[in-house]
């Protein structure tokens, strides 16, 4: 074979989805460039433009990478037209719904217009499925409250309460008390133990209308149990160093269970068996993280179970970078959506309808809201102060929930 023929062959190899990769790469690179400008990187001449504008262009650009359909529209067709730096303080929630935000002073409910209310001095909180109530935790007490903070009932457990999770049906609340897993009725009746020894990982309710929940046993095994009596219906080895379990509903009665480890992600399809009504766990599939990933900071399963957003710390040629990746749970392909130097990103959250992704950037004191469909992205800074009124040391808050998929009900 001649060298000329080899050149022709090499140049003729089709790189899969090359155009989409080029668009995504452009978005990531332009975002990094804008970030560099905003950070005041040394320049040989000409002063920097307004940092917020640079960040804005970066945001608007990276949102292009979120477009899942290969529309092919040039990024610049809309950059500059649609970006809106949201400004200081959260004035609205792009994507709608209500946020549940945990601060040093307790959990806050944030309405769609950005107005917020501190629920009280609670350590943890979780939404009911339709956002009519919240379950909040203080010491050994589990309390159901209304979104305006009015308590409805309280339950005092033998040991400190952690990780409350309201069932999708609305009828039950699971929580850990000491090393045990318990479930109580949402009307504060029928409190019962489900498992005696569990790991310090919050359980996940089945999204398939089955009164069952997944939890990590103290022996490192993943279990599916009936919430009525704790009967174990399925069991499998869990991912080592499991940090979180999430469970979303796919189409046609199938679910997808996500295991988030310290440096790995794994999914299993689930289905409710027709005869016994027990959840059947499919075989695990590992979702690949990029080479050089040194830490998996956070991961979130989209409400439709089709994608996992992963926040990873990656060793780069010039030091570590934080990167947000979107991984398709069907075929495991993934794309980097956003990347910043250092470890500046902290957590991710999906909007209830899966249209937006919230990315927390504590070092910039910002939340970034990225929209999938129409080309919009917004950033809001001053987040720490907004949730720490009157405090000097403003710790950056965490997002505990984004409610709700359906309005009211």
Partner 1 sequence: MRADSGELERAGGNEPPPAREERRLIREAQRGSASALADLYTAHWRRAHRAAYLVVHDAAAAEDVAQDAFLAAVDALDRFDRRRPFGPWLHRIVINRAIDWSRRESLRRRIVDEAGELEQRAGGDARTGADLGTDLMTALAALPVEQRAIVVLRHLLEYTPGEIAAMLELPRGTVNSRLRRALDRLGSALEGGR
Binding site for partner 1 (CB under 8 A): 1, 3, 6-18, 21-22, 24-26, 28-30, 32-34, 36-37, 41-46, 48-49, 57, 266-267, 283-288, 290-292, 316-318, 321, 327-329, 331-336, 339, 341
Backbone angles phi, psi at 196, to 5 degrees: -80, -35
Provide the Cα torsion 172, 175, 179, 181; round to 10°: 20
Nearest distance, CB of residue 229 and partner 1, angstroms? 32
Q: Which is nearer to partner 1, 33 or 153 (CB)?
A: 33
We find the least distance from the C-beta atom of residue 259 to partner 1, in angstroms, to be 11
**Nearer to partner 1 among residue 13 and residue 393 (C-beta):** 13
Contact present, 57 and 377 (Cβ < 8 Å): no
Judged by beta carbon, residue 230 or residue 332, the one nearer partner 1 is 332
How far apart, in whole angstroms, are the C-alpha atoms of residue 288 and residue 290?
7
Least distance from partner 1 to the Cβ atom of residue 262, Å? 16
Q: At what angle do helices 18-38 and 51-64 cross, to 10 degrees?
A: 160
Nearer to partner 1, 7 or 391 (CB): 7
As a dihedral over the C-alpha atoms of residue 368, residue 373, residue 374, residue 377, rounded to 10 degrees, the angle is 10
Please state the closest distance from residue 380 (CB atom) to partner 1, in A. Answer: 23
b/e for 58-93, b at 16 or more Cβ within 10 A?
A: bbbbbbbbbbeeeeeeebeebbeebbebbeeebebb
What is the nearest approach in angstroms of partner 1 to the Cβ of residue 199?
21
Nearest approach, Cβ of 196 to partner 1 (angstroms)?
A: 29
CB of 310 within 8 A of CB of 265?
yes
Whether the CB-CB separation of 164 and 173 falls below 8 Å is answered with yes
Whose Cβ is closer to partner 1: residue 326's or residue 370's? 326
Closest CB to partner 1 among residues 268, 356: 268
């Amino acid at each position: 074979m001649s060298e000329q023929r080899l050149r022709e062959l090499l140049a003729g190899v089709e790189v899969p989805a090359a155009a989409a990769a080029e668009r995504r790469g452009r978005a990531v690179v332009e975002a990094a460039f804008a970030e560099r400008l905003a950070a005041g990187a040394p320049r040989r001449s000409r002063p920097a433009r307004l940092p917020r504008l640079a960040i804005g262009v970066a945001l608007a650009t990276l949102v292009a990478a979120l477009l899942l359909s290969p529309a092919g529209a040039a990024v610049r067709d809309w950059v500059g037209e649609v970006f809106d730096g949201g400004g200081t303080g959260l004035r609205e929630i792009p994507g709608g719904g209500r946020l549940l935000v945990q601060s040093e002073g307790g959990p806050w409910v944030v309405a769609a217009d950005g107005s917020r209310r501190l629920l009280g001095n609670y350590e943890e909180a979780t939404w009911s499925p339709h956002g009519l109530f919240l379950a909040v935790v203080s010491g050994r007490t589990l309390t159901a409250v209304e979104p305006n903070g009015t308590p409805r009932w309280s339950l005092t457990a033998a040991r400190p309460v952690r990780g409350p999770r309201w069932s999708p049906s609305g009828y039950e609340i699971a929580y850990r008390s000491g090393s045990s897993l318990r479930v109580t009725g949402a009307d504060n009746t029928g409190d019962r133990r489900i498992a005696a020894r569990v790991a310090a990982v919050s359980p996940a309710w089945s999204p398939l209308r089955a009164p069952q929940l997944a939890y990590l046993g103290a022996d490192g095994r993943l279990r599916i149990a009936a919430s009525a009596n704790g009967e174990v219906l399925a069991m499998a080895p869990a991912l080592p160093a499991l940090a979180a379990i999430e469970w979303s509903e796919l189409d046609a009665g199938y679910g997808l269970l996500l295991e988030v480890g310290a440096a790995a992600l794994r999914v299993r399809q689930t289905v409710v068996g027709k005869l016994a009504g027990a959840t059947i766990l499919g075989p695990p599939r590992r979702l690949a993280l990029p080479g050089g990933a040194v830490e998996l900071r956070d991961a979130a399963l989209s409400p439709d179970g089709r994608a996992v957003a992963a926040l990873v710390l990656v060793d780069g040629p010039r030091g570590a970078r934080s990167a947000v990746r979107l991984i398709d749970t069907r075929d495991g392909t993934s794309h980097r959506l956003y990347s910043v130097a250092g470890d500046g990103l902290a957590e991710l959250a999906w909007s209830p309808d899966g249209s937006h992704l919230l990315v927390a950037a504590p070092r910039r004191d910002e939340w970034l809201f990225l929209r999938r469909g129409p080309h919009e992205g917004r950033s809001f800074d001053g987040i720490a102060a907004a949730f720490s009124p009157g405090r000097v040391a403003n710790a950056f808050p965490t997002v505990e929930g984004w409610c709700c998929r359906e309005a009211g009900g």
